[in-house]
A and B are shown apart, each in its own frame.
Chain A
Amino acid sequence: MSKVVEISPTTRHEGHSKLTLKVNDQGIIERGDWLSITPVRGVEKLAIGKTMDQVPKIASRVCGICPIAHCLAGIEAMEASVGCEIPTDAKLLRVILHAANRLHSIALHNILILPDFYIPGTETKINPFTKEQPVRSVAARIIRIREIGQSIGMIAGGEAVHPSNPRVGGMYRNVSPRARQKMYDLAREGLVLAREQMEFMIAVIRNMQNREFTDVAGKKIPIPKTLGYHSQGVMATSPMYGSSSLDEKPTWDIARWKETRPWDWYMGEVTIDLEDPSYPVGGTTKVGTKANPQMEACTGVPTMDGQPVEVGPRARLATFKHFDEKGTFAQHVARQLEYPDCLYSILKCLDALDTSGKVLADPIPQGDGSLGWAANEAPRGTDVHLARVKDGRVLWYEMLVPTTWNLPTCSRGLTGAPWQIAEMVVRAYDPCVSCATHMIVVDQENRLVAQKLI
């Protein structure tokens, strides 16, 4: 007889989401639904009628962790719609900015996941905020890597968080030779730290993978060898940067994409009948509470060939680098393997960058309303923005952000895991939920509003 348990909200990731889980008598998940409950941002509606220069800047405000990915994807979607080719040096600056963003995001994610893991060879879980060694120096290294990522982003992009330098047609400014050297020095320092950090993290992850049990709220919970396995496909457009409809050979196929509603993917109304007050932090949802994932999920469900897919570091490595591991730990390992990639990309671009080169296209076409899309490989997966621009104004705009792709896929990956470690499976996707939320589904009485329109 299956029971329903709900973890709401989930913790240690960006945004608000919850897990509604049907579990068997042994506490193993039979069907899991992971859904976003972050309030809607409404960016796509705000965009309509705004100028093509404004919209990517607004889009970047959807979140504070990968705003750079949203800004760049937005800008490139506009460029794809109007048919604007940008100068090489502008492209190089964008790749530097993008790689710097991924670098600091991976480091931030390390902090978020470390409390799930043990110091190898001990029964002590890692508290990244402790003053004790060796964790103290790891935390200091993480902070420095983030600082390096953000400083490089700040120089190339104008701001560390919401970049001001990129614009439709290229970049506002090229950097000075001194700034280029500064980025180079930072990247060199970062490379050493990132390599150490990668090795440390992989050791910690492998140690966890080899354990039989983990401790959650004083209980020994078995770790299945197939934790996080699912049989959905993977999707990635590039190992580092992305692709757009302007490319000679675009690596994302718009014809295979179809957006469906949460109604079709999530379970209907259920009553919670399993509760664990000791579950950190503050216990699970009380018995008797009603949950309705179909109604509560406030994301679309994008599909490729009719199925949800996984995006993110594992998807990138599986698509482009023959990485053949699966599941939660494989996702973690793949993310760490991207550390040096980010810095090598930065260094390569800096070598090729001409600081006196032109960074703005001239002229910039104003668009005839044709559809353009750009996919940017954000830290947590493929971020596709689609736009139609006419006479410099946005007619239509859509964001298919990484976590939107991952929400239904991860829901499938939850099956077979003990419910107490379901959050570990979720965290391996490095979820960034606020940007994934982009439509309103229910009204105050929890009824679906205008189903046909959304």
Chain B
Amino acid sequence: MVSDPYLGKYTTCVSARSTDKEILQKAQDGGIATTLMVYALEQGIIDGAIVAGKGDRPWQPRPFIAMSREDILKARGTKYNISPQISLLKEATRSFGLDKVGITGVCCQMQAVRKAQLYPVNMRDVPGKIALAVGLFCMENFPYKSMQCIVEDHAGQSLHSVKKMEIGKGKYWIYTERGNVVTLPLKVTHKYEQPGCHVCLDYVSNLGDISTGSVGSPDGWSTVFVRTKVGNDVWSKAVASGMFETKPIEGVKPGLELVTKLAKEKIDKNRATVEGRKTFGVNKALRDPYA
């Protein structure tokens, strides 16, 4: 078990890619989260998964409970705004009748899942039913209106026409169906981030069973941290059955160095925000979420 102040605890870290061509077609990077959930569902490790599906408006995610491969595939790709995954966590064990729930989500959502397990207030009978939690790397998130502003006002594209969005190499990338590619420097998008993200001290979903994200691996591949016994069990079986191709993280560029660098950047910056809030205002402070 490796314990890193910025990358959390993990047993294994690899660079990986799904071997499923259909998943890769629309996956954000290596298709790790989708493939893991499909594998877990097909093997009976989970009965269903809470994933971010399509909402009412273009590129607006809405959590739903996927109980088949087709449903899980509908959730491929990153949508850069908020999908309230935890809102369905209890319902999954109720009217959906799931005994083994899989859940995907970003860092703060993994924290919420673990908190629900540790202090199951209003979460009766939920803790033991969470069978697999796959966390995603997350630098920050945007409210829907912010993303609309970025795409429509700054990039001048219509949200309907967007095929893929991506944050990488210091830029916000927007690809449209007709082939337009717009890049925006991140300093333009910073002001649109939701303020809650600025006190988050987690970059690589330290509390997931498995966490994954593009940073650290080459294009089309993802970096995967296996963190728990449950995660290790699922991951090793999935790799053994040929669901993933893997490379040692030490052998790929840019590798763990970049992940650590970005994690450090986020966490140090946000720690400063948390500190700054203590003396914000006159004779009063903003709430410290970690107090």
A residues adjacent to B (C-beta < 8 A): 151, 154-156, 158-161, 165, 173-176, 178-183
Contacts and interface: CB of A to CB of B under 8 A. Distances in A.
Interface string B14-51: 00000000000000000000000000000000011000
B278 interface: no
B47 A178 contact: yes
B125 A160 contact: yes
A178 B96 contact: yes
B109 to A, nearest CB: 22
Interface in B72-95: 91, 93-95
Contacts of A181: 97
A72 to B, nearest CB: 17
B67 interface: yes
B96 A158 contact: no
Which range contains the number of B residues in contact with the other chain? 10 to 19
A173 B91 contact: yes
Nearest 5 CB-CB pairings of A with B: A179-B97, A182-B97, A178-B97, A175-B95, A173-B95
Contacts of B97: 155, 175-176, 178-183
Interface in B88-126: 91, 93-99, 124-125
B125 A154 contact: yes
Contacts of A173: 91, 95
Interface string B55-78: 000000000010100000000000
Nearest to B97: A179
Contact of A159 (B96, B98, B124): B124
Nearest to A180: B97
Nearest to A160: B124
Nearest to B65: A176
Interface string B142-163: 0000000000000000000000
Contacts of B99: 182
Contacts of A158: 91, 94-95
B94 A155 contact: yes
Contacts of A176: 65, 67, 95-97
A87 to B, nearest CB: 16
Contacts of B67: 176, 178
A390 B125 CA distance: 38
A127 to B, nearest CB: 29
A302 B257 CA distance: 77
Given A178-B47, A178-B67, A165 B124 contact: no
Contacts of A160: 124-125
A180 B94 CA distance: 11
